[in-house]
Amino acid sequence: MQPCVDMTLLDDILAQYPHEEQSLIQVLQDVQRAYNYLPCEVLEKVASELKVPLAKVFSVSTFYKAFSLNPQGKVIIKVCTGTACHIRGATQIIDEVERRLGIKPGETTEDLGFTLHTVNCVGACAMAPVVIVGDKYVGAAKASDMHKYLTVAKGGDNEN
Ligand code: FES
């Protein structure tokens, strides 16, 4: 069976590193960046090219939070659910994002546009509630403003 992912991206990544176990994390970081997740067939080839047991590749892939075995959306939305953010309305923000995108925390929209995650305190409690849309921190976030952030993140106009 042919793989569904573009394996040439992996070839370009592997060409940059010695084919040995010490390269594993760097290769996985580049794979995560290139594919936006760690596709199974890519991990199999990484294991064979770096001569690392597949079980070890999966073990590393699941250990670090920066890696995902499932396709992630182009825009990752992280809603802080730490105490300060929870008290100031994080639940309403999550409800609003769920309603607008039709996904629950940990899920990705079918068009791979967005992934929603909840996270623990991100160290910005004074700005609570905090939402991170892509790489942008939004402080004092309001559920009623989420449509604006989602629209801007998607690259559209800032509509109501
Ligand atoms: S609880 Fe959300 S930033 Fe600290």
Ligand 1 contacts CB of residue 83 (under 6 A): yes
* Cα 3 to Cα 1: distance, rounded to the nearest angstrom: 6
Q: How many A from CA of 129 to the centre of ligand 1?
A: 7
Is residue 12 domain-resident? Answer: yes
Is residue 148 domain-resident? Answer: yes
Q: What is the CATH number of the domain that holds 33?
A: 1.10.10
pLDDT band for position 158 (50/70/90)?
A: very low
Q: How many A from CA of 122 to the centre of ligand 1?
A: 5
Ligand 1 contacts CB of residue 130 (under 6 A): yes
141 three-state secondary structure: coil
**What integer pLDDT is reported at residue 65 of this predicted model?**
83
Ligand 1 contacts CB of residue 9 (under 6 A): no
Q: How many structural domains compose the chain?
A: 2
Identify any residues that bridge with 19 across adjacent strands, giving them in sequence order. Answer: none
Ligand 1 contacts CB of residue 73 (under 6 A): no
pTM for the model: 0.78
* Cα 136 to Cα 134: distance, rounded to the nearest angstrom: 6
> Residue 26: which residues within 8 A CB-CB, separation 6 or more?
17
Q: What is the CATH number of the domain that holds 84?
A: 3.40.30.10
Q: Are residues 29 and 86 in the same domain?
A: no
pLDDT of 45 higher than 90: yes
Q: Are residues 92 and 49 in the same domain?
A: no
pLDDT band for position 66 (50/70/90)?
A: confident
**What integer pLDDT is reported at residue 157 of this predicted model?**
52
Residue 60 CB coordination number (10 Å)? 17
The boundaries of the domain holding residue 43 are: 7-63
> Residue 42: which residues within 8 A CB-CB, separation 6 or more?
3, 5, 7, 10, 31, 35
pLDDT of 4 higher than 80: no
pLDDT, tens digit (0-9, with 9 covering 90-100), for 109-155 = 999 999 999 999 999 999 999 999 998 999 999 999 999 999 888 88
Lowest mean pLDDT among 14-18, 80-84, 147-151: 147-151
Q: Are residues 88 and 147 in the same domain?
A: yes
Identify any residues that bridge with 115 across adjacent strands, giving them in sequence order. Answer: 76, 108
Is residue 32 domain-resident? Answer: yes
Q: Are residues 41 and 95 in the same domain?
A: no
Q: Are residues 57 and 80 in the same domain?
A: no
pLDDT band for position 159 (50/70/90)?
A: very low
